[in-house]
Amino acid sequence: MESEQTISMMQIVGILRKHIKAILGTTIVATLAAAFLTFFVMTPKYSATTQILVNRKLSDNQQAAQLQQTQADVQMISTYKDIITSPTVLKDVNKEVKAYPGYPGSMNALKDSLSISNSQNSQVFSVSAKSTDAGTASAIANLTAKVFKKKVGKIMSIDNVSIVSEAMTNTKPVSPRKTLNILAGIVIGIVLGIGLAFIRELTDRTVTSETFLTDDLGLTALGTVTEIDQKDIERTVEHKKFQSKLNNHNSARNHRRV
């Protein structure tokens, strides 16, 4: 069992060594393609984040229930997320940012550009916006927070919404991730090259050894034709021509002496 595994591993290594040039070529091509797409085709995107706190006020006789109220506010964040991405809020935001550079293109695209998250057991949640323009990304995030603060009071009778921090313009793109894309190109190139190497090896029907004919196919070997390199043939021909000229020259000298 161990010998079979060793032979199998040796065969795999042999196949990889045999097709190493093809594997390297495929890797280089895939890496260059990934680099071209990353640097010349993909449009950079920028992100900006604002933080919002919704804390419902309690009357004096309800202060004892402060802990339960805080937990309820945390659970309400899922509802706030739905309100932020609803047409009630995004309709007003969409009107404001239509003329901005890097505008997503539609209200649905604007919704897709937003992401909302919060830390566990925290009443503060973050609204992040992405755009092909850094200034537009921060404008979308800040406008969304302001419109939400205005609308949620009417929808849920909440009057204690605070914008903890406004979104700042960040000129460092969050996508594409250049290093990650190039590494992905290298990995894809290697995997593709190895796959093609094994496919070529499995589909190659060339007989490479006499034992395959005698042991595997049960045929009788009548002889072996050795492949001769073209350069060897040319050297042999040149040698025979030289030898022929030399023999003719010697024959002529002997004839003159006689």
Instruction: Say whether pLDDT at 191 is over 80.
Output: yes
The pLDDT tens digits of the residues spanning 43-80 come to 999 999 999 988 765 555 554 555 565 566 667 788 88
Assigned CATH topology for domain 45-58+65-175: Alpha-Beta Plaits (3.30.70)
Name the pLDDT band for 3 (thresholds 50, 70, 90): very low
Question: Do 140 and 49 meet the contact criterion of CB atoms below 8 Å apart?
Answer: no
pTM for the model stands at 0.67
Per-residue burial over 90-116, b = 16 or more CB atoms within 10 Å of its CB, e = otherwise? bebbbeebeebebbbeeeeebbebbeb
Residue with tokens 């060897």: 232
Name the pLDDT band for 249 (thresholds 50, 70, 90): low
Spatial neighbors of 196 by CB under 8 A, at least 6 apart, are 19, 22, 26
- Helix spans in the chain (H): 2-18, 20-36, 66-75, 77-84, 87-97, 107-112, 134-156, 178-203, 210-211, 230-257
Instruction: Say whether pLDDT at 7 is over 70.
Output: no
DSSP state letter for 60 = G
Spatial neighbors of 111 by CB under 8 A, at least 6 apart, are 85, 90
